[in-house]
Amino acid sequence: MTSHGPAGSTPEWTYTSTVGADSTAKAVIRVAGVLTLGSALLALVLPPKSALTGQEALWTPAVVAGLVGLGCALMLLGPRWLRTTAKVDNDAVLLSSSGVRTRVPLEEIESVSNSYLPSGGYGYRYLGKGHRGFISGGPQVDIKLKDGREFTVSVRSVPEFCAAVKAAKEQHETRLSAQAKPPSRDIPS
């Protein structure tokens, strides 16, 4: 949790939980990248021949370039896509995984609790009508909204995340109620 802001003001703070995939999942993605690069090398060494002319196919360089690009992307960038971030700030909970981002305003959150739903895999998931998942293994929380929607999110620590959302909601409600009160006017007697 990070606090910052001028003295005497309501502190601006955030809580961020980032969960990455386990080493096995990362290894599988990297092996897929190596196999893709191997396919590109094989296409260079043993280029396909045209069935009609018996000459090397004209599309071989494009396929090799595509396979090299895909292999490098899998090896270098693939494991980064297996990460889930849940950030709680003064106004909202920000969720992201596999390039998908969602902002959930604090006033829309009804409850946050430990998730008992077994959701396998990694990345952004459709888990049923109105239910989305930001999954990357490990402990998960369920964020239920007042309109019935629900998010299941991987977090580093369920108790810490739930406490951060509770504290942020309380601070947000206090700030909103302070803004809603009309200023008192002292009338001299």
**pLDDT-wise least confident of 1-5, 119-123, 134-138:** 1-5
pLDDT value of position 9: 41
Q: pLDDT tens for residues 73-95?
A: 777 776 666 778 889 988 899 99
pLDDT value of position 3: 38
pLDDT value of position 108: 93
In this structure, what token pair is assigned to residue 100? 């998908």
Residue carrying structure tokens 């509770």:
166
Closest to 87 in 3D by CA, of 73, 99, 101: 101
CA distance 75 to 66: 14
Report yes or no: 131 and 62 within 8 Å, Cβ to Cβ.
no
Query: Residue 144: is its pLDDT beyond 90?
Result: yes
pLDDT value of position 27: 75
pLDDT value of position 21: 66
Question: How many CB atoms within 10 Å of residue 66?
Answer: 14
User: DSSP H helical segments within the chain, as ranges?
Assistant: 23-45, 60-76, 158-180
Q: How far is CA 154 from the centre of its chain?
A: 9
In this structure, what token pair is assigned to residue 67? 């396979």
pLDDT value of position 109: 93
pLDDT value of position 43: 75
pLDDT value of position 182: 64
Residue 136, phi then psi, degrees to nearest 5: -150, 35
CA distance 152 to 119: 9
pLDDT value of position 93: 92
Query: Residue 154: is its pLDDT beyond 60?
Result: yes
Q: pLDDT tens for residues 11-63?
A: 566 777 777 766 667 777 778 888 887 887 777 777 667 666 666 666 677 77
pLDDT value of position 75: 73
CA distance 1 to 103: 19
- What is the model's pTM? 0.66
